[in-house]
A and B are shown apart, each in its own frame.
Chain A
Amino acid sequence: MHTRRTLLTGAMAVGGIAALSRAGGAQPAAPAPAPLTKSIPSSGEALPVVGLGTWITFNVGNDAALRDECAAVVAAFFAAGGRLIDSSPMYGSSQPTIGYALQKLGRPEALFSAEKVWTSSPRNGPPQIAQSLASWGVPRFDLVQVHNLLSWEAHLDTLLAMKEAKQIRHVGITTSEGRRHRDMEAIMASRPLDFVQATYNPVDRELEARILPLARERGIAVIVNRPFREGELTRKLARHPLPGWAAEIGAMSWAQLVLKFIVSHPSVTCAIPATTRVDHVRENLAAAAGPLPDEAFRRRIAEAIGHI
């Protein structure tokens, strides 16, 4: 059975065999090219355009073997040049799993920690963030976002005050699955945000109408969640052969083609696919290393995937 990753074009499959030969032969494997980066408009800090999401994939409870699997994913993520890891108090045991992985890896300096506050009680925001810090084992977060705009007014006040006090570095808000875009737009227009996070991929393109142009206009970085619709999109695409023209931008799989479409939008800063597999995280980062599609090519991708 084909997986989302195995449907390669003929030319790319030959290239894959060559890569395997290098890995197993006498010649040392060439280091993977570094992923492309984009700057956070408000701070100028460069971020690789592919990060790591942790929804479902890192919620493994106290299962020691699965925690080690996640740690291996994080290790491969940093080895491939990744930086931004995103989580939330809503994600079960994902936070302590990240903390376990970071401790095991000796707390990589490259980490850009993106967390969320998710409680309907404004009073519970600060203690929840403190608990999240303890779970990650980091002194402060690089970014804290109001998760799904839950009680956003009060939490945003808290986060902006924390940023002012240098307790966090960036402030953001999130939605997912197309929820509450009008509210997000209103907040983007009226509050000093560093980041927004929302769902965007070749079949969920509502952001293109207003959110993405507004982000560019207001200098707000954009994190894209659910790039593969939690795997639903890539599972569907895997039933079809990858178009030969995908090789023109170095996409060796549907997943890479989708990621290249997303991060090539001028307003998008970073996409955060989640995975439990080392080979997938490497492939995701590799999508950020090669050429990206121009506007005409992006339309071609959207049309091809939209017709499937």
Chain B
Amino acid sequence: MSEWWTYELSDFLMFSPRVYVRLLAAYNAAMWPAQVVTIALGLAAAALLLVPMRGRERLVPAALGVLWTLVAWAFLWERYATINWGALYAAPAFALQGVVLIAAGLSGRLSFPATRSAGAIAAAALLVAIVLGWPLLAPLFGRPFDAAEVFGLVPDPTALATLALLAAIGGGARIVLMIIPALWSLIAAATLFTLGSSAWVLVLAAAAAAVALSVSRRTPPAPRRW
């Protein structure tokens, strides 16, 4: 008989904010200058939502998938799991998301907006805000800047940016691709809430904005395949 219902959210928060901040700072130092590359990739993805370029449907999801697998291995499995055994379960989910993104991109199952619609512009703006804004949350919420959370290297901004990107693109696979990022956004918000950080509101707001954009816009047809 299992007794999991007797646990509360706080029972699974097994580390202190201080330990997490130091872990982030050590991770950032070890990964530098990858932060420059991943932020540039995020901005390029936003630009490619609005600027038609041959092969963008394949290139952008595949590159994003590589970043998900990087987060799965370098952060969740190698670092975060040392203070949170729950990361051992999250890492395979992130790796799976990465593989599916790569496969969906390379197989041409996703379509980018053909025109600069209001929805596409809003999604691109949200993506830029997450990629550029998320690292700035560290000093805004009292953490040192060297403990910033950067898109493509840690889970929260990577999941939220993925939701923003998927909000603008078409193809049946995008709904499937939104499941893990959406679930992670909920976990991230719950973790931040339990840690006493009001940043959980921003996580939920960004995720909700992406999902709202996704359901409100007219979905472009999936690319025809022969």
A residues with a Cβ closer than 8 A to B are: 55-57, 59-63, 65-66, 90-93, 120, 148-151, 177, 179-180, 276
Contacts and interface: CB of A to CB of B under 8 A. Distances in A.
B14 A63 contact: no
Interface string B156-179: 000000000000000000000000
B16 A92 contact: no
A66 B2 CA distance: 34
Contacts of A151: 1-3
Contacts of A92: 14-15, 82-85
B6 A56 contact: no
A93 B6 contact: no
Interface string B57-91: 00000000000000000000001001111000000
B6 A180 contact: yes
Contact of B3 (A55, A91, A180): A180
B23 interface: yes
Nearest to A183: B3
A251 to B, nearest CB: 27
B22 A66 contact: yes
A149 B3 contact: yes
| A66, A93, A179: residue with the most chain B Cβ atoms closer than 10 Å | A93
Interface of B is mostly: loop
Contact of B14 (A91, A148, A179): A91
Contact of B83 (A61, A177, A180): A61
Contacts, number: 54
A148 B8 CA distance: 12
A148 B2 contact: no
A120 B2 contact: yes
A56 to B, nearest CB: 6
B89 to A, nearest CB: 14
B26 interface: yes
Contacts of A179: 6
B19 interface: yes
A224 to B, nearest CB: 18
Given A150-B3, A180-B6, A56 B16 contact: yes
Contacts of A276: 16
B92 to A, nearest CB: 19
A149 B3 CA distance: 8
Interface in B10-60: 13-16, 19, 22-23, 26
**10 A-B pairs closest in CB distance:** A61-B82, A61-B83, A92-B14, A179-B6, A59-B15, A120-B2, A92-B83, A59-B14, A60-B19, A59-B83
B9 to A, nearest CB: 12
- Give the most central of A90, A92, A149: most B CB within 10 Å: A92
Contacts of B79: 61
A153 to B, nearest CB: 8
A120 B15 CA distance: 22
Contacts of A93: 82-83
28 contacts: A55-B14, A56-B16, A59-B14, A59-B15, A59-B16, A59-B19, A61-B23, A61-B79, A61-B82, A61-B83, A63-B22, A63-B23, A65-B22, A66-B19, A66-B22, A92-B15, A92-B85, A93-B82, A93-B83, A149-B3, A151-B1, A151-B2, A151-B3, A177-B8, A179-B6, A180-B3, A180-B6, A276-B16
